[in-house]
């Protein structure tokens, strides 16, 4: 029986190549019905078996298989080209398995991926496909980010985004492994914003004008975050009842429940100065437009305002400091360390909480006013009445202007507990009496 050269077996009309290795029979179709063509194909199939022993024969077979794998991979790439880094973002956005991120987050992710793509073009222009990004390339890019002295949080967000994108496009990119998973994240040390003193608040407000002055008043007397204060709408302001109802942007996607913030007399007077004919959609139309266009520009203006008021915004020993040169002129010089911000608009939120607490407001009341990121805590604070919240806010000191704000007609506050008590005893027989009591609360 031929072992090295093989032989033909005819089944139906087709010839099959057959051969033995040891005691095992192997067969493979030649795909030919003409015997002469089948013999030619048999010769081609048996080429690897010309080796002198079984070990060499098996090695030749293995080489043949690998060659076939390479051919298959090449044909697959020709028919279904591998996902390029340039097309990765569109594939990620279209993937149904990706997280349901907001527009702001998606914009950040796109920026991270674009930065990586630009770096690849500059440093490794031969790499085009996502699957060609090896662990070594990922390590090199991480080192590049570290060399740029990114903050730990920024570094982690950058690497985390790349890991997420590569994971979501894994099938489309035909990835065998995610090179970003092994990149070690950096330890983040959160620097909290410090509170401002009453004198600092007065200085900041006295130096401000126009919309900036009202923006600071919103921060001081409501505890709203910058984005919420800058984009506050008149539809969210109830001046007659002195209540602002706003869904904080930070928790809007997870818990779209509005917080109710009493309006301090000083803030109420400032809002009332804006006549109804001048009220459009936003309380601060110019600030809202700029915030939507470039929120970092608003933050920069606020930082510069604080600095102009003599309030250092960066932690001592970081960022820039003002010194006098040889001519006695003041100039800003770098400390050589990245600025760690201690004072910003968010400081007003911390200050608001502290002032409320100093005035004796219960913690639950303060948390209910500023909003809480924990759904469980938010539910816990749901039953805080408007009267208790208003009492806490009205106890805040006046820091805008030299004298107390002009008096406004006292707002009528309705105690939610009284309303609930009346509602619980409402029946078909006593509804007229209960209605009269409810109207009396509103009178």
- The pTM for the full model equals 0.55
Output the six-digit token pair for 228: 């919420």
User: What pLDDT, on the 0 to 100 scale, is given for residue 382?
Assistant: 39
d(CA 122, CA 120): 5
431 burial via Cβ count (<10 Å: 0-12, 13-18, 19+): exposed
Output the six-digit token pair for 133: 């990004």
Quick check: 88 pLDDT over 80? yes
For residue 263, give the 3-state DSSP assignment: coil
Give the pairing of strands 24-32 and 14-21.
antiparallel
d(CA 166, CA 134): 12
Closest CA to 3 of 60, 44, 58, 49: 49
d(CA 141, CA 123): 10
Confidence class for position 181, pLDDT limits 50, 70, 90: very high
Please state, in angstroms and as integers, the Cα–Cα distance from residue 307 to each residue in 19, 206, 225, following that order.
Answer: 88, 14, 20
Rg over alpha carbons for the chain, rounded to the nearest Å, is 36
Task: Encode 287-307: b = buried (16+ Cβ within 10 Å), e = exposed.
Answer: bbebbeeeeeebbeebbebbb
Per mean pLDDT, which of 54-58, 313-317, 399-403 is the most reliable? 313-317
67 burial via Cβ count (<10 Å: 0-12, 13-18, 19+): exposed
Quick check: 273 pLDDT over 60? yes
User: What pLDDT, on the 0 to 100 scale, is given for residue 102?
Assistant: 79
CA 55 to chain centroid:
58
pLDDT, mean over the chain: 79
**Domain boundaries defined on the chain:** 7-79, 85-173, 198-298+349-407, 413-443
- Report whether 315 contacts 191 (CB < 8 A): yes
User: What pLDDT, on the 0 to 100 scale, is given for residue 154?
Assistant: 87
d(CA 82, CA 12): 42
Confidence class for position 2, pLDDT limits 50, 70, 90: very low
> Does residue 93 or residue 403 have the better pLDDT?
93
Quick check: 262 pLDDT over 50? yes
Strand partners, 32: 15
User: What pLDDT, on the 0 to 100 scale, is given for residue 137?
Assistant: 94
Given the candidates 1.10.3470, 1.10.443, 2.60.120, 3.40.1130, the CATH classification of the domain at 198-298+349-407 is 1.10.443
**Which stretch of DSSP H or E encloses residue 295?**
helix 295-308
Q: Average of pLDDT values for 57-67?
A: 65
**Which stretch of DSSP H or E encloses residue 250?**
none
Confidence class for position 6, pLDDT limits 50, 70, 90: confident
Strand order in the sheet with 24-32: 7-11, 14-21, 24-32
Quick check: 178 pLDDT over 60? yes
User: What pLDDT, on the 0 to 100 scale, is given for residue 91?
Assistant: 94
User: What pLDDT, on the 0 to 100 scale, is given for residue 310?
Assistant: 85
């Amino acid at each position: 029986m031929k072992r090295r050269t093989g032989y033909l077996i005819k089944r139906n009309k087709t010839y099959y190549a057959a051969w033995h290795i040891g005691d095992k029979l192997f067969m493979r179709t030649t795909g030919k019905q003409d015997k002469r063509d089948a013999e030619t194909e048999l010769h081609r199939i048996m080429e690897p078996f010309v080796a002198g022993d079984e070990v060499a024969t098996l090695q030749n077979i293995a080489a043949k298989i690998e060659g076939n794998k390479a051919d298959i991979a090449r044909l697959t790439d020709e028919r279904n080209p591998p996902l390029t880094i340039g097309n990765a973002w569109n594939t990620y956005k279209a993937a149904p398995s990706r997280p349901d991120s907001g527009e702001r987050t998606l914009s950040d992710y796109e920026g991270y991926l674009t930065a990586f793509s630009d770096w690849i073009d500059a440093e490794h222009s031969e790499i085009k496909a996502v699957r060609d990004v090896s662990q070594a390339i990922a390590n090199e890019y991480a080192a590049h980010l570290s060399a740029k002295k990114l903050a730990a949080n920024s570094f982690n967000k950058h690497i985390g985004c790349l890991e997420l994108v590569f994971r979501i496009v894994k099938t489309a990119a035909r990835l065998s492994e995610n090179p970003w998973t092994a990149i070690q994240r950096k330890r983040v040390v959160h620097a909290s914003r410090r509170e401002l003193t009453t004198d600092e608040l007065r200085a900041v407000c006295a130096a401000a004008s126009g919309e900036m002055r009202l923006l600071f008043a919103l921060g001081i007397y409501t505890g709203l975050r910058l984005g919420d204060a800058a984009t506050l709408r008149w539809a969210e302001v109830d001046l007659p009842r002195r209540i602002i109802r706003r869904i904080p942007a930070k928790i809007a996607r997870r818990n779209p429940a509005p917080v109710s913030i009493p309006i301090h007399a000083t803030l109420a007077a400032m809002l009332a100065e804006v006549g109804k004919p001048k009220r459009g959609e936003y309380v601060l139309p110019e600030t809202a437009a700029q915030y939507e266009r470039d929120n970092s520009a608003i933050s920069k203006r606020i930082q510069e305002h604080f600095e102009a008021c003599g309030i250092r915004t960066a932690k001592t020993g970081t960022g820039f400091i003002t010194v006098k040169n040889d001519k006695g002129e003041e100039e800003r010089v770098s400390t050589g360390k990245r600025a760690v911000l201690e004072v910003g608009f968010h400081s007003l939120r911390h200050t608001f909480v502290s002032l409320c607490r100093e005035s004796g407001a219960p913690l639950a009341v303060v948390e209910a006013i500023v909003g809480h990121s924990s759904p469980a805590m938010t539910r816990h604070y749901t039953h805080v009445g408007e009267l208790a919240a208003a009492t806490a806010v009205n106890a805040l000191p006046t820091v805008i202007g030299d004298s107390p704000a002009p008096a406004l007609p006292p707002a009528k506050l309705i105690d939610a507990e009284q309303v609930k008590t009346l509602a619980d005893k409402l029946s078909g027989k006593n509804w007229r009496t209960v209605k009269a009591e409810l109207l009396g609360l509103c009178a």
